[in-house]
Amino acid sequence: MATNHLKSANNIHNIFFNHSFSSMSPKIKVFAGTKSRYMAEEICKDLGLELGKMNITHFADGEFEVSFEESIRGCEVYLVQSTFPNTDNLMELLLMIDAAKRASAAKTIAVIPYFGWARQDRKDKPRVSIAAKLVADLLTAAGVDRVITMDLHADQIQGFFNVPVDHLYASSVFVPYIESLKLDNMVIATPDVGGAKRANSYAKYFDVPLVLCHKQRAKANVVASMTVIGDVKDKNVILVDDMVDTAGTITKAADLMLANGAKSVRALASHAIMSDPASELVDKSGLTEMIFTNSIPYSKGCKKCTIISIARMFADTIRRVHDFQSISSQYVFR
């Protein structure tokens, strides 16, 4: 009799727990680094979630400690942080990943709208570091399970990781904006030959000519000379780049296009690094408009700058990753 009761209890126990585990899926939680909180809040709003509670304690010597203020055990944790300078942003992200791993998160996914240090992706001269590979190694060593990022400076950086990388493209938000301008006689241009592949994708999509700028640098961030390859006379030019730092190249290219007879010149770039005096250079240049995404927070006064949000694109990607759906369908083009 006692044995039968025990068997019945075990059967009920097994049915209950088997049902619970089979219907269970990891809960999504989103957390933000200090400088990317604005982005995480927008992403959470689109996902219909509350931003996760996290605390970053700073010590007198500049060291800091990351702690999650709610349970993340068994959760799919998304950590939103662009790794633009200073290095505190990268260090914050590394500590967030480590803390999530130690708090038994089911998956730890880094959402990095702007992947910093990406310009150092190869040995272009003897005895230099390859910082992009080092950062990828640091993220992997910290325990990241996946990376979601946008418009890497070079596509091959994806291969620096031993975990999946979802590489998004700002063309998803830039193309509708360009279409809304309804420009006639449009040409797509690139401020340097290195961006030819990216600019060519836009030119093919809009079925318009591609114009190249050939530049020679005196040193880093300083352009010595520039030449336009292609016809821009009486054309509305769209300059395409992945990032703008000092704005020396993009403004020089715009002024050169106008000197060669262009009707108007607009520029779009995924990442607004905009180191001083970039904002002043853009305002004083012949550019009609400078268009960025909000992958990096930009608050400096620049009358010609337009900022387009990419939060919805990242929120949709998070949904698709969580539901094991393809993300390639959301690309306008790569």
* 215 is a catalytic site residue: yes
* Token pair for 283: 């305002």
Which contacts qualify for 118-121: CB closer than 8 Å, 24 or more apart?
Answer: 118/152, 118/153, 118/154, 118/157, 119/153, 121/153, 121/154, 121/156, 121/157
Determine the Cα–Cα distance for residues 132 and 306; give it in Å rounded to an integer: 29
Q: Which entry of 29, 123, 125, 215 is annotated as an active-site residue?
A: 215
**Catalytic residue numbers, as ranges:** 215
